[in-house]
Structure 1
């Protein structure tokens, strides 16, 4: 097993409380064309802070016990599967959080659950985690940066999915977790440079679908075409520090040109509730937007509350990871959101425990 010195660096909360995987979700640094002052995406969706959140999910549910006598063939001790190299109080706290989630998953035999349930339980463990944007782009050189102390909306999804997939295959190592983050975040699963990052979420869905990690189920749900040209990044070049480099700029232009071949469909906001019986916990939700040149303005996961209602768990720009109790109501409450795109994570385990009863 590789030593902790080879693992991605966990930056202190004071520097990196969260990550921005896609710049359009976080702070747009610099100036936009025309000499205006720097903007954030909130300028395009000003009512985001007014979205209601659930009051009955402020604390995560305990990881469910499947069978106290069942054997889960894991013979690793905590010190064997979590490497510690504290870099300050915040970093040590993040390591502890990772350890706690994995210990809970091991002790409760969570690996024997369907992937959708694992995703839901992992997501709940981060309720209340702060929303902080813009930190993936702090370094001029593209590096794999991971934080459990705070998220933007896409970082929340990537973190939850990476941890859940590790639990599903009984890989409780931090190295395995970081490898899965890289696999999801970059084209063909490999970090090479700034342009290898999947900046547009429709590109993120398409690339991860090609590698069998998820399926875009929007067309099968009755999605209608989203006729847009994706060019938000190059049209706002001065808002992205890395695009000052001509190589990065030209590469992103090529990416945008190729995205013309990726079909975009979405479910209109007033049709969302009609599909509740076809959604499942852990489905990835991306909110389609009417912002010119942009496909998606926010992301999260389907959350089924204990009373059966279909909500939305997400890293909310209003402050923290939270649960909005009704998915359709949430989408309709935010200006600029016109509907949803739905992607379903695929369970790639050779033997999937789909027959286990739900918790």
Structure 2
């Protein structure tokens, strides 16, 4: 098959699948739903073939990518200091530290009323977007390139944020609960759940996982698309059938020496409707202390906080932790 007709076929079918979503939206963005071969030729002339194939941006970058100047500064620093040569945990840590001080902004994943798309915001982050952007930068930098664009980072975020690594424009494509994120990304070889290897875990019992459907008014997509709530409820019901074990917080001080910079730590909660209420990264300092780095609603910014066990002790609602180690 000739390459141009093949790419035209991909493009046409891609937009055919999205057409219904765009027409259903009251705030539909302007996209060409039909493209002839001449227009496709100009598209390919303006972008490299790999970028075209890996971009899964269903909304314009004015919505999906905020803070490009900061992204460019971090990438320039990474190239100058050769972060690529570092192991993934160190790359994650460098990227995370470069975002220290970023204001805390809740619900930064909720960027549209109807259409879902990979996104990144360097001007404001919540706990989930902070750790995912740091991980995405580390994964992106492992790919040898002389120049990195927002599309390169968005592709890496898509791989880890969405079920099976693909966003097709639907809200339910996204992984909404950290325990499923751990399971899905471990299954695909991106992380390893090391919780059980750290110490004696205990099961979390008598808890429903239904935050999204109970608090649907807090989520822009669920509020504007009532039909999504039944699908979300099905996802939650299935998640509740999976066993969930965690390390109680009274064990954390003892196991902290086993943690590494870049480890992803989910904070297990006593609160109802969810298993993990927060997430962040481990940053081991030169004195060997495993600090918790996160986008903090309390401190209103991204920061390197106390040692992990001390951070857990500050909140009665914190029950313990689960830990995933990123893999190359």
Instruction: Give the TM bin, normalised by the shorter chain.
Output: 0.7 to 0.9
Could you tell me whether the CA contact under 8 Å between 2:95 and 2:137 is conserved in 1? yes
Q: Distance in 2 between matches of 1:145 and 1:266?
A: 30
> Structure 1 residues 226, 113: CA separation in 2 closer, same or farther (over 3 Å shift)?
same
Deviations 1:197-235 (A, max 9, x none): 111111111111111110111122232111232122223
In the alignment, the residues of structure 1 paired with residue 226 and residue 131 of structure 2 have an alpha-carbon distance, to the nearest angstrom, of 31
Shift of 1:10: 4.5
Alpha-carbon distance in structure 2 between the residues aligned to 1:346 and 1:223: 22
SS at 1:209 equivalent: helix
Contact 2:112-2:221 at 8 Å conserved across structures: no
Selected match of 2:286 from 301, 306, 309: 306
Unmatched 5+ stretches in structure 2:
1-47
Q: Aligned pair count?
A: 268
Q: Distance between the aligned counterparts of 1:189 and 1:236, measured in 2?
A: 26
Using the size of structure 1 for normalisation, the TM-score is 0.70
Match of 1:157 in 2: 131
How far off its partner does 1:341 sit?
A: 0.8
Which of residues 66, 78, 103 in structure 2 aligns to 1:130?
103
**Does residue 1:329 correspond to 2:310, yes or no?**
yes
Distance (whole Å) between structure 1 residues aligned to residue 217 and residue 109 of structure 2 = 17
1:269 counterpart (234, 249, 273): 249
CA displacement, residues 242-300 of structure 1 (integer Å, 9 cap, x when unaligned):
33434311111110121123221111111101111211110001100111120111110
Gaps of 5+ in 1: 17-86, 348-359
Which residue is 2:211 aligned to?
232
What secondary structure sits across from 1:312 in the alignment?
A: strand
2:267·2:279 contact (CA, 8 Å) conserved in 1?
yes
CA separation of 1:138 and 1:220: change in aligned 2, threshold 3 A: same
The TM-score, its normalising length taken from structure 2, stands at 0.76
Distance 2:108 2:260 in 1: 31
Aligned partner (choices 161, 172, 182) of residue 195 of structure 1: 172
Asked whether the 8 Å contact 1:11–1:145 carries over to 2, the reply is no
- CA distance in 1 between counterparts of 2:62 and 2:247 reads 38
| SS class of match (2:89) | helix
| Cα contact 2:133–2:157 (8 A) shared by 1 | yes
Structure number with the higher helix fraction is 2
Bigger Rg, structure 1 or 2: 2
- Displacement of 1:306: 2.2
Which digits, 9 at most, give the CA deviation of each residue in 1:119-144, with x for residues without a partner? Answer: 11111101101100124324112232
Q: Could you tell me which residue of structure 2 aligns to residue 253 of structure 1? A: 233
User: Cα RMSD (Å) of the superposition?
Assistant: 2.2
1:315 and 2:295 equivalent? yes
Aligned equivalent of 2:21: none
User: Which SS does the other structure have where 2:313 is aligned?
Assistant: helix
- For the 8 Å contact 1:10–1:147, the answer to whether it is kept is no
